[in-house]
């Protein structure tokens, strides 16, 4: 006997917070003893190769108010453009670089911080070189599905002009929403705007 089509219904979607911090960053949430340190809190060590950089930013809602409970993850290549992944076939990535980080952001200001290295260029699907970039993933209360975006570097203008993904963006006036501003030696600012004026470009990946 065929079962009714409405027998098994899709569960309602849930937003990421506030419990995402308890599960993903227990030490940050005041829960010790789960991990020596929260996973993703350190991308580099004293042996990591490449130019050390600090990336700071905030996630803003449509009113321009910073979110204080966002959780940010990043993925990137090492300084030579290799990913620390078993699927990397182009060479051996830096063993002292994780390539992945997680920042819960400050609960008062919402600012996230990543201490990392400037990534090298990696090939696009067709072999063309992409500009140095960092992939961001954003979750927070009110966001049902994590949002993906990219951060490029203001001081890589020539590489950005050649980047095949940036070239595919229909409304080129929005490309600056993906460009981090250099604020000092090895310091970059990348704010993410969920809605409204200056809304960041997000990718369906």
Domain ranges of the chain: 41-193
Model pLDDT, residue 26: 87
Distance linking the first and last C-alpha atoms of the chain: 39
Using the predicted structure, report yes or no on whether residue 69 has a pLDDT greater than 70.
Answer: yes
pLDDT at 140: 87
For 22, 58, 64, 79, 89, the CA distances from 52, given in Å and listed in that order, are: 29, 21, 30, 9, 25
- Cα dihedral 129, 78, 91, 125, rounded to 10, equals -30
The CATH fold assigned to 41-193 is: Protocatechuate 3,4-Dioxygenase, subunit A (2.60.130)
Check whether 196 has a pLDDT greater than 80.
yes
Query: How high is the pLDDT of residue 132?
Result: 98
Closest CA to 93 of 107, 103, 78, 74: 78
Q: What is the pLDDT, as a whole number, of residue 5?
A: 62
Q: Is the pTM of this model over 0.85?
A: yes
Burial annotation 72-111 (CB, 10 A radius, 16+ → b, else e): bbbbbbbbbbbbbeeeeeeeebbebbbbbbbbbbeeeebb
CA 119, 123, 129, 130 torsion-angle sign? negative
**Partners of residue 133 on adjacent β-strands:** 152
């Amino acid at each position: 006997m065929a079962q009714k089509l409405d027998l098994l219904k899709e569960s309602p979607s849930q937003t990421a917070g506030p419990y995402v911090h308890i599960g993903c960053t227990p030490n940050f949430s005041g829960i010790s003893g789960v991990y020596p340190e929260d996973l993703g809190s350190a991308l580099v060590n004293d042996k990591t190769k490449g130019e050390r950089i600090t990336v700071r930013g905030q996630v803003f809602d449509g009113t321009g108010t910073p979110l204080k409970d966002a959780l940010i993850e990043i993925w990137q290549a090492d300084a030579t453009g290799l990913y620390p992944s078993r699927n990397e076939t182009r060479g051996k990535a830096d063993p002292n670089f994780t390539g992945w980080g997680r920042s819960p952001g400050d609960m008062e200001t919402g600012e996230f911080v990543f201490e990392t290295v400037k990534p090298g260029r990696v090939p696009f699907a067709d072999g063309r070189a992409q500009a140095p970039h960092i992939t961001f993933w954003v979750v927070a209360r009110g966001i049902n599905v994590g949002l993906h975006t990219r951060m490029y570097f203001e001081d890589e203008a020539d590489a950005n002009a050649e980047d095949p993904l940036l070239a595919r963006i229909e409304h080129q006036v929005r490309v600056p929403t993906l460009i981090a501003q250099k604020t000092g030696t090895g310091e970059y600012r990348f704010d993410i705007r969920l809605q409204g004026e200056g809304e960041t470009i997000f990718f369906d990946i």
